[in-house]
């Protein structure tokens, strides 16, 4: 059999990562869908509700982290076809409170292709306003993507 063209192989990897994301148990707590829109980019659509509010009546920072980390992580892992990446550091900048409703997390790979990857993400609310951004570093793990439930190519 001839090898897959690179674009078909990348698309298959991206669809498998989307499947992996959908299969993660944590995502039962955060209704969301992942779309890998190309190498080094990822978009996640979330629907946040009052169930993730803090006592002050807005979305808790843990939800911001989850959304930003996921978008940056999948943007970086879209470039790695054999191993699952791990977050080694993540910095957040909160710019405005977020209320319930639809939120889009846009992730983008910045640098690195061997051992450490750097990616950033931003959160955009239903009004099109940026509410937070973050930058993370991600490292190759010993976990083969092919061994993970949900990663189906």
* Residue 116 burial by Cβ neighbours in a 10 Å radius (0-12, 13-18, 19+): middle
Task: Tell me what pLDDT residue 2 has.
Answer: 35
Cβ–Cβ < 8 Å for 132, 94:
yes
Delineate the domains of the chain, giving CATH numbers in brackets: 6-147 (3.10.129.10)
The residues of the chain scoring below 70 in pLDDT are: 1-7
**How far apart are alpha carbons 24 and 137 in whole angstroms?**
21
Task: Tell me what pLDDT residue 153 has.
Answer: 72
Task: Tell me what pLDDT residue 6 has.
Answer: 56
């Amino acid at each position: 059999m001839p090898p897959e063209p690179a674009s078909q192989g990348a698309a298959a990897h991206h669809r498998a990562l989307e499947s992996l994301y959908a299969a993660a148990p944590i995502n039962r707590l955060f209704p969301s869908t992942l779309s890998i829109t190309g190498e080094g980019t990822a978009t996640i659509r979330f629907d946040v509700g009052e169930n993730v509010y803090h006592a002050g009546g807005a979305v808790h920072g843990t939800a911001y982290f989850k959304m930003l980390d996921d978008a940056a992580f999948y943007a970086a892992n879209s470039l790695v076809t054999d191993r699952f990446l791990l977050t080694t550091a993540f910095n957040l900048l909160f710019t405005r409170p977020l209320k319930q409703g639809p939120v889009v997390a846009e992730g983008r790979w910045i640098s690195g292709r061997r051992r450490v990857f750097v990616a950033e993400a931003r959160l955009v609310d239903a009004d099109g306003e940026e509410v937070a951004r973050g930058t993370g570093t991600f490292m190759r793990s010993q976990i083969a993507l092919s061994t993970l439930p949900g990663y189906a190519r």
